[in-house]
Structure 1
Amino acid sequence: MAVYEYDVVVIGSGPAGEGAAMNAAKHGRRVAVIEEQETVGGNCTHKGTIPSKALRHSVKQIIEFNTNPMFRDIGEPRWFSFPKVLKRAEKVMSNQVMLRTNFYARNRVDVFFGRAEFEDKNTVLVKGTVKGTETLRAKNIIIATGSRPYTPADIDFSHPRIYNSDTILKLSHTPRTLIIYGAGVIGSEYCSIFSGLGVKVDLIDTQDRLLSFLDGEISDALSYHLRNTAVKIRHNEEYESVEGDDHGVILNLKSGKRIRADAFLWCNGRTGNTDNLNIEATGLAPNSRGQLSVDGHYRTEVEGIYAVGDVIGWPSLASAALDQGRSAAADLVGSDYFRYINEVPTGIYTIPEISSIGKTEEELTKECIPYEVGQAFFKDTARAQISSQPVGMLKILFHRETLAILGIHCFGDQASEIVHIGQAIMRQEGAANTIEYFVNTTFNYPTMAEAYRVAAIAGLNRISNL
């Protein structure tokens, strides 16, 4: 059995693993990456972020074609099947794999394809490789194994009409009706995708409002626009049982409701991928959801072992995972560029999309912070009118006395891009992070970015009248 010595072994090649491996390699460390799938990229590339966002983009284009009067000169509205739309996503996934494979080759990072299993805290076996079982030893090991959908034992996920957010990518037909259980980020995004394809969706929410961590006004806007596409949202519901037959699926709710649909999609919770690592051999013990606890430097309680990305829980975002991986590597090489990732913008790729950073109105009210609101509605901006994307708004929350920016909340086309302008100003020191920046800065016209100027003027006008 071959034995290889490394400075750092990274388990997982998703964003967290890639960030860790690249940063360690850039600092001259000899690095190996272990990936269970046949190609690099992790679940982000193959099952999560990339395929779902590529799907969303294609569906958004279909919606634009079918609703824009100008295209009626070309032909009548078209119907597209889910498998046909998925082919576009598969091309993006293939391009991402090629790009990331080149990253590892260029930085001379060795990649082992197989299943990782700890022998002790400094030794990892790679099982199922083309050479059989191989042994990797290293002073530092970074666990970046990600997560997978939580699947309760009382639901038969082997049934051909019952899916989770991974297996839905194998859907070979387009159902006429669909039940989505779980109205978190993933459930809401797939709700937009399927309703955009003309599927009648029942969205089952276990909470009293959608995405309750969002600013209430933004959450309400999403609810309105989903309902506007014939989505039936059912709040404060829990499942009793899920029954699959040859014709579809019946969802029985504890409230007594009984709902039938052609297919069922489970989007309620994630589980960290630690159960097949023989992690007990290191002395670590995951929690009930398979997640590992870390300190402020991404170090586990076992010396030399770090954990990053979805396997440590919050915020479970690809963007944060990449930075967490880079920071863990920075810590183990003693770099000055370490930072703990705690200010993460939220990007939710529904149709329209949502993005935010900082405090919500509810949080500021609870904390008794004197704040004011500046708003700009996209329907009033020239760029949104030109692009026929009038839905949405930008909302700036700022301190009534210091004018410091406290939160940025955006709903509408390109929201996940627009929010970064506000994020950049929020990160400035002292007087540079006030709402006055947007009034005293000239923006290109017409752009979506000028919504900041409109919102800032509106906000300042509110306090000038006091």
Structure 2
Amino acid sequence: MVHYDFIVLGAGPAGRRAAIQAAKLGKSVVVVDDRAKVGGVSVHTGTIPSKTLRETALNLSGWRERAFYGQGYRTRTTICSDDLDQRIGKTFDYEVAVLEHQFARNGVQTINGRGSFVSPHEIAVRRELDGSFVEEVIKADKILISVGTRPFRPAHIPFNKTNVFDSDNFILQPQMPSSLTVVGGGVIGLEYATIFSALDIPVTLIEPNEQLLPFMDKEIVDHLVQSMRERGMSLRLGCSLSYIHFSESGDPICQLADGRLIGSKMVLFAAGREGATSSLNLKACGLEADSRGRLEVDRTTFQTNVPNIYAAGDVIGFPSLASTSMEQGRAVACHAFGKAIAADDQKPPYGVYAVPELSSVGMTEADAQQAGIPYECGIARFKETSRGHIMGLEAGILKLICHRETRKLIGVHVVGEGASELVHIGQAVLNLGGTIDYFVENSFNYPTLAEGYKVAALDLWNRLQVTPAAADKDAAAEPKPGRSGRKKKAA
């Protein structure tokens, strides 16, 4: 039996970061993954291909230039499935090559096979060898479960890989349907719905909740919703899907619980994901997943209730982002092998790559209200900045939230072009305990969208000048209406 210091189950963002970090600490590491190539869900069917699809759609459709050249402007008059697939394939090959090089450079071994627990320290790996399947058992002091998730597939949904897809099959076979219905208004469903809308495909989005993306600030989500409606997307919020049946021509028809029917050429069912833990034989190591296949961990060390076994990435649930998964993986390796881990008081940014994209860090208005924090907000609109006008941006806002008394920045929320990049400026100031004075007192390159920070901070500054005492004084000086209901003239 081969013995390692560290076995990693799954080669996604959490797994690969943990493996490389452990290797840099001088540990023997092996990564077990049942895919033919490394990368996990992130590279194969998640983050990388979906964001590549987004960029391809925006480039080929001429979406970014339509404010200047009209809604009929197109970079390419006809866009086919091969156009979408070609760029995804090139990006995939590049990402895999980079990861394989990183593993090789750091001495991380990989085994292409399916791992399952034999005991808390032993993993049985079933893999194909010379046309037949063989099984070997490997052992380690520490084990990380980072197997990611797979699409939630209810039994009553007729998935067929033809015109009813889950999110994994959808990106593996990118197509250009004449119409699309997306079931699920979470991050994945919202991203695909807006991407295909940007390709001028009629899209209907079905979401049982009234509010999209409830973990983000409501104002920027409302801005996104307005943008979606203005370009003709049909939003069925507060509506649930009962079942899907087919027309005589074979097209899927979604039956809503309120009796309405939605017909389209294709349906993407993206209402959630579940941890890919069913094949791990968790009972053998003393672990149990929840109803969605997810594992519970200590959110600082990422240890499970079995001390030598850790879990990280999407398999432990929210926020299920590649960026946070990577940091979780690094924290696992550091804790497992006695190296100090970073403080957990840092606020990570969240990004949603819809069209337009959204990103945020820190508190939302709802968070501040719930915590009883006196706060104020400042807004900058992209279309009112010189760079935004040059770029022809019609949508987009940058919103800052600060503590009213200390002026400390407590939240940054952006929707619009480059939101996922812009948010990092606010992230640095927020996590370093800075105030909005930084934005007011420092210069920004001009013209840039980042200048929106100064605009929003000045908006905030003006609002903060209204103190409770001043407000009371103004109210006392306000002329009182006379008997006729009209205000008396000031003396």
Query: Which TM-score tier does this pair reach, normalised by the shorter chain?
Result: over 0.9
Counterpart position of 2:397: 393
Q: What is the letter of the counterpart of residue 337 of structure 2?
A: V
With over 3 angstroms needed to count, the CA separation of the structure-2 counterparts of 1:283 and 1:78, relative to structure 1, is same
Counterpart position of 1:133: 135
1:83 Cα deviation (Å)? 3.7
How do residues 46-445 of structure 1 correspond to structure 2 at under 5 angstroms? Answer: 46-61=44-59, 62-64=61-63, 67=66, 69=68, 78-130=77-129, 132-158=134-160, 160-171=162-173, 173-244=175-246, 246-295=249-298, 296-340=300-344, 343-429=347-433, 433-445=434-446
Asked if 1 retains the 8 angstrom alpha-carbon contact of 2:161 and 2:169, the reply is no
Asked if 2 retains the 8 angstrom alpha-carbon contact of 1:297 and 1:340, the reply is no
Runs of 5+ in structure 2 lacking a partner?
A: 468-491
Query: Residue 96 of structure 2: SS of its match in structure 1?
Result: helix
TM-score (norm 2): 0.90
Q: What is the letter of the counterpart of residue 87 of structure 2?
A: R
1:75 Cα deviation (Å)? 8.1
Instruction: Output one character per residue of 1:293-317: Cα deviation in whole Å (capped at 9) or x when no partner.
Output: 1113111111210000011111111
Counterpart position of 1:40: 38
Q: 1-side partners of 2:74 and 2:263: how far apart?
A: 35
Q: 2-side partners of 1:224 and 1:238: how far apart?
A: 21
Asked if 1 retains the 8 angstrom alpha-carbon contact of 2:313 and 2:320, the reply is yes
Q: 1-side partners of 2:263 and 2:49: how far apart?
A: 27
Which range is displaced more, 44-53 or 330-339? 330-339
Q: What is the letter of the counterpart of residue 383 of structure 2?
A: K
Larger Rg: 2
With over 3 angstroms needed to count, the CA separation of the structure-2 counterparts of 1:186 and 1:251, relative to structure 1, is same
Instruction: Output one character per residue of 1:75-105: Cα deviation in whole Å (capped at 9) or x when no partner.
Output: 8862312442222112111100000000000
Counterpart position of 1:4: 2
Asked if 2 retains the 8 angstrom alpha-carbon contact of 1:14 and 1:40, the reply is yes
Q: What is the letter of the counterpart of residue 377 of structure 2?
A: V
Instruction: Output one character per residue of 1:253-309: Cα deviation in whole Å (capped at 9) or x when no partner.
Output: 111111111111011111001001111111111111001111131111112100000
Q: What is the letter of the counterpart of residue 304 of structure 2?
A: T
Query: Residue 409 of structure 1: SS of its match in structure 2?
Result: strand
Asked if 1 retains the 8 angstrom alpha-carbon contact of 2:347 and 2:431, the reply is no
Query: Residue 449 of structure 1: SS of its match in structure 2?
Result: helix
Asked if 1 retains the 8 angstrom alpha-carbon contact of 2:65 and 2:392, the reply is no
Asked if 2 retains the 8 angstrom alpha-carbon contact of 1:79 and 1:197, the reply is no
1:247 Cα deviation (Å)? 2.6
How do residues 22-37 of structure 1 correspond to structure 2 at under 5 angstroms? Answer: 22-37=20-35
Q: 1-side partners of 2:28 and 2:331: how far apart?
A: 17
Q: 1-side partners of 2:74 and 2:160: how far apart?
A: 41
1:172 Cα deviation (Å)? 5.7
- Over the matched positions of the two proteins, sequence identity in percent amounts to 38
Q: 2-side partners of 1:186 and 1:87: how far apart?
A: 21
With over 3 angstroms needed to count, the CA separation of the structure-2 counterparts of 1:419 and 1:66, relative to structure 1, is closer
Counterpart position of 2:474: none
Asked if 1 retains the 8 angstrom alpha-carbon contact of 2:383 and 2:392, the reply is no
Q: 2-side partners of 1:158 and 1:85: how far apart?
A: 21
Instruction: Output one character per residue of 1:383-412: Cα deviation in whole Å (capped at 9) or x when no partner.
Output: 222222342111000111110111100011
Counterpart position of 1:20: 18
TM-score (norm 1): 0.95
1:447 Cα deviation (Å)? 1.5
With over 3 angstroms needed to count, the CA separation of the structure-2 counterparts of 1:276 and 1:298, relative to structure 1, is same
Asked if 1 retains the 8 angstrom alpha-carbon contact of 2:62 and 2:75, the reply is no
Number of aligned pairs?
Answer: 461
Asked if 2 retains the 8 angstrom alpha-carbon contact of 1:397 and 1:408, the reply is yes
Query: Residue 427 of structure 2: SS of its match in structure 1?
Result: helix
Q: What is the letter of the counterpart of residue 133 of structure 1?
A: E
Instruction: Output one character per residue of 1:123-151: Cα deviation in whole Å (capped at 9) or x when no partner.
Output: 11111243732321101000000001111
Asked if 2 retains the 8 angstrom alpha-carbon contact of 1:330 and 1:338, the reply is no
1:70 Cα deviation (Å)? 5.8
Query: Residue 450 of structure 1: SS of its match in structure 2?
Result: helix
Q: 2-side partners of 1:320 and 1:92: how far apart?
A: 22
With over 3 angstroms needed to count, the CA separation of the structure-2 counterparts of 1:309 and 1:75, relative to structure 1, is closer
With over 3 angstroms needed to count, the CA separation of the structure-2 counterparts of 1:342 and 1:282, relative to structure 1, is farther
Asked if 2 retains the 8 angstrom alpha-carbon contact of 1:83 and 1:171, the reply is no
1:173 Cα deviation (Å)? 3.7
Asked if 1 retains the 8 angstrom alpha-carbon contact of 2:227 and 2:395, the reply is no
